[in-house]
Amino acid sequence: MKIIGTGSALPKKVVNNDMLSDFLETSDEWITTRTGISTRRIITDERFEDLATEAAARAIDAAGLCPDDIDYIVCSNVSNLYITPHLSSIIMGNLGMKGPVCPTMDVNAACVGFVQSLDVCDALLATGRAHNILLVAAEECTRFCDWNDRNCAVLFGDGAGAVVLTKGNSLISSKITTIPMPDVIVYRNPMEATPFETREGIDTHSALVMKGREVFRMAVTSAARDIARVTEDAGLKLEDIDHFLLHQANLRINEAIRENLRQPQEKFPTNVQRFGNTSSASIPLLLDEGIREGRIKQGDTILMSAFGAGFVSGVLILKY
Ligand code: UT7
């Protein structure tokens, strides 16, 4: 595969930490020192599917294509309003593509969804199943937040990023792994209103339950380990990587990974301070911003690393 266009879209409402401390027992000081997050974007009167479609349309436009040139749509998300129909089919309709056109598929791999989908799309292109794939990662994380739960509500934001992929030799190396640990991050169907007991015995009404410290520890360990391994598999040194695009969950997690790898800060762009944790949308948002601002250039070597519910870890290296 190779990336021939990128796009992104964010909701207009900016919510800062002081606004959250109006109704939660929290503070700007706690949130910024523990996570690095200062503001996040939250969907208000927009529709989630429109945000996803906007990112998709921008990526198609940047690729110099029109929607009818797309012959596969993949969408990573865990927060679609509907369990079915899948978001990729809704995006297809919103783009004005009148079916029956091409396959559409949603991927639920939480924060790793974009990286894992890139890996799958490479296989679809390599086997000739598709020629121009639209891959969208769109998340409305604030939909599943319990706004009375300070442990989670302060962490998330909404956003969408997209890429258009065509046949090429950009993908250098990848490694996606799952350790079956269903309890570390759980988001259950919000319609399920009864108290929920995890295997660890945490009793809660919240749809989202996360063992923050454990996720933190696993994220740093798995990312540092997999980044080193995938780089070595590719026959590269860490110094050969121009940009490390890490999933944006917590600035401290990313700083710990960076220190472990002993690489300079300027290779690690961030957006968690402005957008919060946007789950699988965080890496394509970084990518689109880097390309549009001219920091990421053709020929650069990019490493992407994400981690999240499952517990899944995904690392991928590509030549842009
Ligand atoms: O996208 C992937 C999924 N998620 C992640 O990657 C998240 C990974 N984990 C983290 O980012 C961090 O563990 C958190 C930001 C979630 C928490 O940071 P921490 O430094 O690990 O804090 P902690 O869990 O040790 O909690 C410290 C204290 C607790 O109080 P006590 O028990 O020490 O009295 C919490 O109740 O901070 C309290 N606390 C808060 N205080 C003010 C938790 N949330 C808040 C809050 N405001 N919003």
Distance CA 318, CA 3 (A): 9
The pLDDT of residue 139 is: 97
Residues with CB under 6 A from ligand 1: 26, 30-31, 34-35, 111, 150-151, 154, 185, 210, 212-213, 215-216, 219, 249-250, 277, 308
The pLDDT of residue 184 is: 87
Quote the ligand 1 centre to 3 CA distance (angstroms): 36
Distance CA 59, CA 222 (A): 31
Quote the ligand 1 centre to 18 CA distance (angstroms): 17
The pLDDT of residue 108 is: 95
Distance CA 59, CA 42 (A): 22
Distance CA 56, CA 75 (A): 10
The pLDDT of residue 90 is: 96
- Give catalytic residue positions: 111, 247, 277
Rounded to two decimals, what is the model's pTM?
Answer: 0.95
Atom of ligand 1 nearest to the CA of 153: 48
The pLDDT of residue 188 is: 78
CA nearest to 99, candidates 120, 78, 80, 85 = 85
The pLDDT of residue 147 is: 87
**Pocket-testing residue among 183, 211, 216, ligand 1, by greatest number of atoms within 8 A of Cβ:** 216
DSSP symbols for 35-82 = H---EEEE-SSS-HHHHHHHHHHHHHHHTT--GGG--EEEEE-S--S-
Q: Do the bridges between strand 312-319 and strand 301-308 make them parallel or antiparallel, or are there none, so unpaired?
A: antiparallel
**Token pair 């595969």 is at which residue?**
1
Q: Return averaged pLDDT per consecutive 10 residues of the chain, 320 residues in all.
A: 98 97 96 98 95 98 97 94 92 91 95 98 97 97 86 95 98 96 82 59 69 93 95 97 98 97 97 98 98 97 96 97
